[in-house]
Structure 1
Amino acid sequence: MKSFLLSLLALTAASASLLPRQQAPSFGNVNAVIDSAFKKVSLLDYQGKYVVLLFYPFDFTYVCPTELIAFSDKIDSFHELGAEVLGISTDSHFTHLAWIKTARKDGGLGGLRYPLLADISKDISRAYGVLVEDSTDDLYGAALRGLFILDGAGKIRSIQINDAPVGRSVDETLRLIQAFKHTDTHGEVCPANWQPGSKTIVPDQDQKKKYFSDVNRDL
């Protein structure tokens, strides 16, 4: 019992300190709904691709369907970048399926174009530090709105965790993947508000001057 508690404390401490540049916690053999069918999903299934892990609190709620639908409607844009999206909550795969089959006009998803994972053990949410474990919180046992971007090597490149009332931006998620893939390929870095096709910076004390002189000509 003592060793179990020590392991649990170590896992909790590790998840609380997850940062970009670290290896993402792996998971496997998780029940999921894909194309309205029950299947098993592992993170290793997506090795070599960028992956967006989209944690959310509950099925059949308010902000959650707007987020999942928004990502589903733009899934082709993710695929064009060689990226996949995985939705994750602590609901069961049976609840996921019922929600997917519910029409959008009734608060359902009306179909979904990426896998929806059932983290009923709460192990994935806990490992990524998004599980609400305060029993006095009305989200107790659920995941916060965590968004993790992983690269093809399984490393975390970006972390965003919102409180429950506010949803996340699909366009910003796509922009971040485009930016990270650009830096992966070209070795240049992306300045504030970078958009595909705009100027980047060579991370060198001398070569950086070209960028700053170009964007500050009148200053």
Structure 2
Amino acid sequence: MSLTTLVTKEAPDFTAQAVMPDNTFAEMTLSNYRGKYVVLFFYPLDFTFVCPSEILAFNKRLAEFKEKNCEVIGVSIDSRFTHLAWKNTSVDNGGIGNIQYPLVEDLNKNIARTYGILLNESVALRGLFLIDTKGVVRHSVINDLPLGRSVSEALRMLDALQFVETHGGEVCPANWQEGDESMKASNEGVKTYLKRTHGSGK
């Protein structure tokens, strides 16, 4: 299944072992997070280079996600034991320390495969999926292995999703940030917005 077919569709469910915030192992099921938003992100491998920068960046801003009723979940093809070893390694020594969101194991690569981001049957590309409270994928982005993602952009998309859900008939234009002016989802709404923000709108 490709990224383009997942947006607007129900997120493929899975049950897998994970290292939890308290460093215990637990079986977790994605659909158990219904009622919350979820940022589900895949990264290639533990003990690599770009990956810890992303994992630590999400952890640094985890409180912002949680304030918005959103859980963050990381997934790679490593085992839960490798995840735990990485958590038990200090940042100074190439580890990630005490990350406070689940890291899921995908040893058989079925989760990455189902989400359409398994590269050459080897590792997952840097796929990120924003899932709404009903379990529907509303946004996705995929990066090649050397390209780290923006946590700020993930938060911006979460804000945009929550805005349009609570403001019927309004949509978020380019570069919209929380607190910015939105746009009415109509021809007149577009014209009015463009006139105010880009001049005459001609």
TM over 0.5: yes
Could you list the per-position Cα deviations for residues 117-148 of structure 1 after superposition, in whole angstroms to 9, with x for gaps in the alignment?
A: 0011211111000112x3xxxxx521111111
User: Is the 2:194–2:200 Cα contact (8 Å) retained in structure 1?
Assistant: no
Q: 5 Å matches for 1:181-192?
A: 181-187=162-168, 188-192=170-174
Change (3 A) 1:17 1:180: closer
C-alpha offsets along residues 66-97 of structure 1, whole Å, 9 cap, x if unaligned?
A: 00000011100000111011000010000000
Larger radius of gyration: 1
State how far apart, in whole Å, the 2-side matches of 1:81 and 1:47 are. Answer: 14
Q: Count residues with an aligned counterpart.
A: 199
Equivalent runs, 1:132-143 vs 2, <5 Å: 132=119, 134=120, 140-143=121-124
Q: Secondary structure at the match of 1:211?
A: helix
1:33 maps to which residue?
19
Within the candidate set 157, 174, 177, 2:158 is matched to 177
CA-atom RMSD, angstroms? 1.4
What is aligned with 2:86? 99
Q: Match for 1:106: what amino acid? A: N
1:206 positional shift = 2.6
Give me the whole-angstrom Cα distance separating, in 2, the residues matched to 1:112 and 1:32: 13
Distance across 2 between alignment mates of 1:67 and 1:16: 21
Any residues of structure 2 matched to 1:1-219 within 5 Å, and which?
A: 14-15=1-2, 18-28=5-15, 30-34=16-20, 35-132=22-119, 134=120, 140-187=121-168, 188-217=170-199
Instruction: Report the structure, 1 or 2, having the larger strand content.
Output: 2
The answer for unaligned runs of 5 or more in structure 2 is none
Kindly state the Cα deviation for residue 205 of structure 1 after the two structures are TM-superposed. Answer: 2.2
| TM, length-normalised to structure 1 | 0.87
SS in 2 for 1:181: helix
Residues 145-197 of structure 1: CA deviation (Å, up to 9, x unaligned)? 11111111111111111110110000010000000110011021001100111
- Name the SS of the counterpart of 2:26 in structure 1: strand
Q: Secondary structure at the residue paired with 1:51?
A: strand
Q: Does structure 1 retain, via aligned residues, the 8 Å contact 2:3–2:140? A: no
Distance in 2 separating the partners of 1:58 and 1:21:
28
Identity value in percent: 46
Gaps of 5+ in 1: 1-13, 135-139
The C-alpha deviation readout for 1:94-127, integer Å capped at 9, x for no partner, is 0000001100011101110100000112111110
**1:5 aligned partner:** none
Instruction: Determine the C-alpha separation between the residues in 1 that align with 2:106 and 2:76.
Output: 6
The alignment's TM-score, normalised by the length of structure 2, stands at 0.94
User: Displacement, 1:23?
Assistant: 1.2
